[in-house]
Chains A and B, each alone.
Chain A
Amino acid sequence: MINRLKLLKKIFSGYIIQDEADVNNFNKIITESKKDLNKLNFMKKSVVKTTISKKFIIILPQNPGCDINANQKLGCPMRKKPGSQAKLKKDVLEQSLCTGCGACVGLCPYQVVYRDRTVQLHDCDLTDGKCYAFCPRTPADYGQIRESLFDVSDVTPEIGAVKGYHLSRAADPALRAKAQHGGTVTALLGVAMAESLIDSAIVSSRNEELEQEGRLVEAKSQLCDYAKSKFTVSPTVAAFNRLMGDTAGKVGVVTTPCQALALAKMKTARINDDGKINPLNLVIGLFCGWTLSVESFNRLLQQYQISPEAVTGMDIPAGKNVLEIYTKASATSVPMVEVDACVRTACRYCIDSTAEFADLSVGAARFGGDCDEMCGWNQIIVRSEFGKQLMELAVARGALEIREAPASALQDLKNAAAEKKRKALKNIVEKSRSVKNLLYLSSDDPVVRKYLDAGTKQRS
């Protein structure tokens, strides 16, 4: 017995091993040597107790690869707070809240996007990471961000800041033919580039399997190659993060609502004082109801015997409740109920359908009665002063045509946006099972408070 103990001691030399008799004395020994252990603080903290039998307790170093040891050896302070990356995993990825926007990607080697999923490759233990700070699904003072970017007087609860609201389309019919609806985004970017308001634009580009990536476009002539709605998520912000290291000059980014929010968090985050955000000069937001999971959507395409690489475009025609998928040879209508099943879970918890944190937001114009008349037009929400200047410049240069929207249009849009907010908040409460826990949102935000379901509020 005593020899076996000695043997184990030899094997694990460097770590304490106690036999059964010592188990009772174990706490005493630890207490007695506490002074020394405090001096050598890491000793206590970097070990775990492993009971291998009734007779023995072996104390081994935690994980031999555990960084605590290394940090301690290097004289680094003990990190008690959980790392930002671990919080991101727990609060966002594991909660299915990740929008796939790419805000946490491209900043460091630890997060990457793979097949429209955000993957944490290796562990990072930093407690003040940009990944958590920039994520549009981590808690933040969203009211404060709104105030710092927009005129408070412009802010509406339903669709964010509104400086102006119009119908618009690109003046160039050739451009409109290539675009999803009115070609407004491409026209605006073109003007911004021509007038040197931006030097390049980050847009999303789709590969053969419908996966997307952000792409830097530096020539105006290439812009229309990336027109059209993609319906799957693009890690556009990752491209922004990555490219900001390499490129000088001013950049415009075309974003979904979650991406616009990520960029807004970057602009206002204290952590981002290294100036990397400075090139961001223009954010054009896209209206967004949801995005599709590439994996599920590819499966759906398979059911309809459509190969992803053959897809030339997709649209949701007003009033038909179908997704039309176009290939060179055919057009296929897929019932929305089947498409809904492919929507990313995260989109269920999104309260923003109009990209409230962009300079300008653009969407399709489709209103019940005026369908034919509106076809080929966009709705545009002007939000910031810079957005207003750009739109006016585009009109003045003859690149963009605008007209007044039908009287009820803005209210219809607001109603639809408010409905999405209500539904998302309901989904959030269902998920967290408490009205007090709104995940990344807070009832301190008046917008959130307004749309928290009355019944839910009462229940609390």
Chain B
Amino acid sequence: MTKLLSPAKSKVLFLGNEAIARGALEAGVSVATGYPGTPSSEVIESLAHVASERNLYVEWSVNEKVALEVAAAASFAGLRSMAVMKQNGVNVASDFLLHLTASGTRGGLVLVSCEDPGALSSVNEGESRYFARMLEMPLLEPSDFQEAKDLTKWAFELSEQIGNVVMLRSVTRMSHASGNVICGKLPVKSRKAHFEYDGSVMDSSRGPMISTPVVAKHLLHQEKLKDIEALFEKSPFNRYVGPGKPELLIITSSACFLYAEEAVEMLGLQKRVGILKLGTTWPLPPKLLEKHLRKTKKILIVEEVLPFLEENVKVLAASLVSRIGINTFYGKYDEMLPSAGELNPDIVAAALCHILKVKRKTLPANYLNDSQKAAALIPVREQTFCAGCPHRASFWNIHNAIALDGRKGFVCGDIGCYSMAALSPATGYHTMPTLHSMGSGTGLASGFAKLAQFGLDQPILTVCGDSTFYHAVIPALINAQHNRADITFIVLDNAGTAMTGFQPHPGLAISAMKEVVPAVDIAAICSAIGAKVAVSDPFDLETTGKILTSFLADKGLLKVLILRQACALSPEKKGKKIFDVKVNESLCLGDACGCNRLCTRVFRCPALTWDRTTKKAVVDEVICAGCGVCVSICPQKAIIKL
């Protein structure tokens, strides 16, 4: 039996995301969908593992919008369902979400957004909490692992109570840290699905699921939100710790509660500072807030990333001013706390010191000097592709093709491991100067290609991963073809959603639940659109290079090159070398004219190292994945396959 199905009352160490999954199981979830994205992926993965035992339907959907739609269908048919995504996934789902909140739901439907303050594994630190306010969804934020489970379970009940979707928001430090959770009961009965639609248009449990009549339904929804507010007043997930009359009140939620607790303890301010921790952050329970705002004049709001809570508390305080008087608020607006990046106990402690005029133990005087010296000794560790990564070979090919073409072509980047080509230019050989959201590379390329009439004569390339292709690229690709955009579109097909942990995608003949499913062929889609399509192995530098240079020279049409080579860390490849590779020292030119360390200075595979004493390149056998690409790039043929 997996840990996720532990019996009631057992205490289990759960990853935050596992706690969320357990909560959903306890609530009797039937359908769970999502699109992989750090830090959210483990919720769906955990549920997929127990799908057959718990009679669940678990799906890695093509993108977040479809994930929410699939989950909503289950809700409409009376089942409990959830859709799980990372912060920017909510943006993708948001168009459907707007209409979903307007039509309402039936079976409990929970939208889980796992966010990434500080962009630890994202290229944004987007805030989806504002969607809760904008689309009028109840918002729950767990601040420990037990709460992650309990709040998830409660979210389903709330959703059914309000007849609408409920949002649960986690952050990296919650989703990816682990803590003890006392399990509750797993339900025995599962629901039967049936979609009723014969009732009146205003009957959300029997009528059609549509947003019209819009204004009437909107008013009804807002009324229900008022009921939720009342529920939130009494929620045990909102609690206060601290003295009766604190000098300073911290209002916080999520993992920031832990930072605030630790900061107060660190400075020994337990008797001066109180903490109001909120688990229900939208809509705010006004009476609860009033009660606590009365306690003191100084309020510090601690949250990640943007001042969402701060704004809502201030609005509420403004309406209460005749009763609670004027408070001083500290937070993001006065720059007491940064409104970018993650928080931590030190940052919160510094704010507390500043507000309460207490001093922390000072650092030694020569600290700056010493730290600078130490900093200088930190080895330069650049972000780079793994040894044996097909992307390195792909970008090598792309770089060379662009250089040969000579018109200063460039690659519009996209989201995947290959994003590193933009984050660390040496990794992408300085080819990828744009990077935005999933699928945007192709859209941008389609746009750049239309600037020829204004004098732009650079060849336009774009890349996307196999999973990204299905997620958001297809509309942009159709746009490019239809509008005669001259672009070279390259699919870096590494046989899985590699960056988030090899979740399957529509290109693979396997589902999240390990069922055999039809694979959707990228080449066939591109051919059907009418593009010129070629497929190559990025490790075959000669063939790939020829295709790319011919594509760049072939003007006026959409060209698609699918570079197929599985990720070096994929389960089928990991630990297996195609070739054993070594350096013939007598042939290696090293840093002499004629080579100047092409392999270690320019190509830069982490498995190629430079021996300072012999002044020769060396293959690090442990790191080498045996792809053999360095054999092709060595001008001296000194790197050999054994």
Contact = CB atoms under 8 A, between A and B. Distances in A.
Interface of A: 1-4, 6-7, 10-11, 13-16, 29, 32-33, 36, 40, 42-43, 61, 63-67, 69-70, 73-75, 107-110, 112, 114-115, 117, 119-126, 128-130, 271
B378 to A, nearest CB: 5
B546 to A, nearest CB: 12
B424 A119 contact: no
Contacts of A119: 403-404, 406
B372 A36 contact: yes
Contact of B594 (A13, A40, A108): A108
A29 B368 contact: yes
B61 to A, nearest CB: 33
A407 to B, nearest CB: 49
A33 B549 CA distance: 51
A74 B612 contact: yes
Nearest to A108: B594
A235 to B, nearest CB: 14
A15 B346 CA distance: 19
Contact of B403 (A7, A73, A121): A121
Contacts, number: 114
B610 A1 contact: no
Contact of B350 (A6, A65, A114): A6
Interface string B26-59: 0000000000000000000000000000000000
B593 A271 contact: yes
Interface stretch (B74-82, B333-341, B621-629): B333-341
A113 to B, nearest CB: 9
B341 A11 contact: yes
A7 B369 CA distance: 19
B376 interface: yes
Contacts of B118: 11
A109 B406 contact: no
Contacts of A125: 596
Give the interface centre of A7, A36, A114, A125 by most chain B CB atoms within 10 Å.
A7
A16 B375 contact: yes
B373 interface: yes
Contacts of A67: 601
B350 to A, nearest CB: 5
Nearest to A120: B403
A270 to B, nearest CB: 13
Given A1-B335, A7-B347, A130-B593, A108 B635 contact: yes
A67 B591 CA distance: 13
Contact of A14 (B340, B378, B594, B633): B378
Contact of A122 (B341, B379, B406, B429): B429
14 contacts: A3-B337, A4-B340, A16-B375, A36-B373, A40-B373, A40-B376, A64-B426, A65-B382, A107-B593, A107-B594, A115-B404, A122-B429, A126-B591, A271-B593
Give the interface centre of B351, B376, B403, B595 by most chain A CB atoms within 10 Å.
B376
B596 A114 contact: no
Given A7-B338, A63-B426, A120-B403, A73 B373 contact: no
A213 to B, nearest CB: 15
Given A7-B347, A36-B369, 15 more contacts: A3-B335, A4-B340, A14-B378, A32-B369, A61-B380, A64-B383, A64-B424, A65-B425, A70-B601, A108-B635, A114-B549, A115-B404, A117-B406, A120-B403, A128-B593
Give the interface centre of B336, B379, B399, B593 by most chain A CB atoms within 10 Å.
B593
A122 B598 contact: yes
A380 B212 CA distance: 94
Contact of B612 (A75, A109, A121): A75
B347 A43 contact: no
Nearest to A30: B372
B258 to A, nearest CB: 17
A29 B371 CA distance: 13
Contact of B372 (A33, A73, A107): A33
Q: Which 8 A-B pairs have the closest CB atoms?
A: A65-B426, A114-B404, A109-B635, A43-B376, A4-B338, A40-B376, A64-B382, A14-B378
Contacts of A33: 369, 372
Contacts of A2: 350, 354
A109 B350 contact: no
B267 to A, nearest CB: 15
A64 B380 contact: yes
A104 to B, nearest CB: 11
Nearest to A129: B593
A36 B374 CA distance: 11
B379 A16 contact: no
A51 to B, nearest CB: 18
B400 interface: yes
B159 interface: no
A109 B598 contact: yes
B602 interface: yes
Contact of A65 (B340, B424, B635): B424
A28 to B, nearest CB: 12
Contacts of B446: none
Interface string B336-363: 1110110010110011001000000000
Nearest to B637: A245
Contact of B375 (A1, A13, A123): A13
A63 B380 CA distance: 11
B280 interface: no
Contact of B346 (A6, A73, A114, A121): A6
A4 B426 CA distance: 29
B87 interface: no
Contacts of A114: 404-406, 549
Contacts of A124: 596
A55 to B, nearest CB: 10
B388 to A, nearest CB: 20
B385 to A, nearest CB: 13
Interface string B483-515: 000000000000000000000000000000000
A11 B342 CA distance: 10
Contacts of A74: 610, 612
Interface string B379-403: 1101100000000000000011001
A132 B379 CA distance: 34
B334 to A, nearest CB: 9
A108 B406 contact: no
Nearest to A13: B375
A156 to B, nearest CB: 36
B429 to A, nearest CB: 7
Contacts of A69: 380
Contact of B404 (A112, A126, A128): A112
Nearest to B594: A108
Contacts of A3: 335-338, 347, 350-351
A384 B220 CA distance: 102
Contact of B380 (A70, A108, A115): A70
B303 to A, nearest CB: 14
B622 to A, nearest CB: 21
B550 to A, nearest CB: 12
Contact of B593 (A66, A115, A123, A126): A126
Interface string B555-595: 00000000000000000000000000000000000010111
Given A109-B633, A109-B635, A114-B404, A14 B375 contact: yes
Nearest to A40: B376
Contacts of B368: 29
